[in-house]
Amino acid sequence: MTGPVVVCTWAGEGEAAELLTLGRTVSEALGTDLVWLVIGVTADDAAETAKRYGATSIDQIDNNRVAASEPDATVEALSQNCSKRSPRMLLFSQTFNVRLIAPRLGGRLGSPVVMNATGIDAESGKLLRVTASAYGGDTQVVYEIQGDAMPIAALMPSAVEPQKSTAQTSPAVDVFEPDLSGVEERIRVLEPAHAEGPRLEDAQTIVAGGRGLGSPENFRLVEELAEALGGMPAASRPIVDDGWTDPSRQVGLTGKIARPALYIAAGISGASQHMAGCAASKTIVAINSDPDAAIFRYARYGIVGDCLELLPELTRAVQER
């Protein structure tokens, strides 16, 4: 029997249910086990989640050096776990940290690495195929995996709908102790990042503005509606680049990936690179003066009109209720 499919998540981060669902499809297709590798302290309900999604066992790495601030130790720990498990394939959910760790691990192990994955086509006896987004989502590409080395793929958030397993498993938790004595971290953190206030990633309501706001002062209209709704303001990249608001507010491929219940986009054209950061929102409302703007394809509700007139009216309408 070939090695298991291993899905790796950081405790409290990433979308374990989505990744386990994808991992299970692959492991079933290849007739192999599904191992869930958790970094950090597993939540009390991890065993329950593993059972529901069909993981055959849980590996836990709980070592305080295996953290975002110590990439060398993290790559080494994962590499040691791969030596022990000899996975058929290793899957991550794509987070900021995984974007650094997954390709480094791939380089270390000689693995094929595919980031931005949206799906995997596995069939026993055939080459694996990984679907990924390219050009910020303008196109979708399929990579065929070559050679014998263990492939690594990082799954985009919301690409897979979580689905429980029909067969119940009873996974046991196995603690994996990496030997990091030989690792001297080459990166020294001089000033850690401090999240200032709430994060867009966690917001339930977001009001985002783009170039259609016309001028920097008008970003205030976005902030006011966000405040009236008890949500957070956000922005497209061009107005961040032009300094209308802080880079931490940028949504998109190279900004924040948000998944709020409500995303109101004002004066945003809906370029794929922007939508990469908000397409997973439950409800998108688009306000754009151009009836042909791409954003309307993603929106539940659309208003064709001037956002400078509509934003203050929306703020008023929300306050009135």
Partner 1 sequence: MRIVVCAKEVLDPDAVNNYALSGGLAIGDDGRTITSSAIPRLMNAYDEQAIEAALRIKEAGADHTVTVVSAGPDPAAILKHAVALGADEIVSIPIEDAGIDYHVVANLLAAYVRSSEGAGLILCGRQASDDDQGVVPALIAESLDMPLISIARAVALSAGGTVRVTRVTPDGNEIVEADCPAVVTISNEFGEPRYPTASMTIRARRTPATVVTMSDLGDVDLAARVTLVEQSVPIVQGNCEVIDGESPSVIARDLVRRLHEDGILS
Site for ligand FAD in 182-211 (CB under 6 A): 210-211
Work out which of 31, 107, 214, 216 binds partner 1, going by CB under 8 A.
Answer: 107
User: Does position 140 bind ligand FAD by CB under 6 A?
Assistant: no
Stretch that binds partner 1, among 20-28, 42-50, 128-136, 167-175 (CB under 8 A): 128-136
Selected range binding partner 1 among 25-33, 158-166, 170-178, 256-264, rule: CB under 8 A: 256-264
Please give the torsion angle defined by the CA atoms of residues 200, 205, 211 and 215, in that order, rounded to the nearest 10 degrees.
Answer: -100
Residues 6+ apart with CB under 8 A from 74: 39, 65, 66, 67, 68, 101
Site for partner 1 in 141-200 (CB under 8 A): 141-147, 149, 151, 186-196, 199
CA distance 64 to 222: 41
Residue 199: CB minimum distance to partner 1, A: 7
Minimum CB–partner distance for residue 271 and ligand FAD (Å): 4
Count Cβ atoms within 10 A of the Cβ of residue 102 and give its class: 0-12 exposed, 13-18 middle, 19 or more buried. Answer: buried
- For position 11 contacting partner 1 by CB under 8 A, the verdict is no
Which residue is it, tokens 């989640």? Answer: 49
If one asks whether residue 121 binds partner 1 (CB under 8 A), the answer comes out as no
Of the candidates 274, 265, 273, the residue with the CA atom closest to the CA atom of residue 296: 265
Least gap, CB of 119 to partner 1 (angstroms): 11
Binders of partner 1 among 44-103, rule CB under 8 A? 71-72, 96, 99-100, 102-103
Q: Which residues contact 123 (CB under 8 A, 6 or more apart)?
A: 29
- Other CB atoms closer than 10 Å to residue 76's CB: what's the count? 21
Least Cβ distance, residue 208 to ligand FAD (angstroms): 8
Beta bridge mates, 35:
6, 57
Q: State the binding string over 300-319 for ligand FAD (x if CB under 6 A, else -).
A: ------xxx-----------
> Least Å distance between CB 114 and ligand FAD?
18
Q: Which stretch binds ligand FAD (CB under 6 A): 31-39, 162-170, 176-184, 246-254?
A: 246-254
Q: Are 208 and 263 spatial neighbours (Cβ–Cβ below 8 Å)?
A: yes
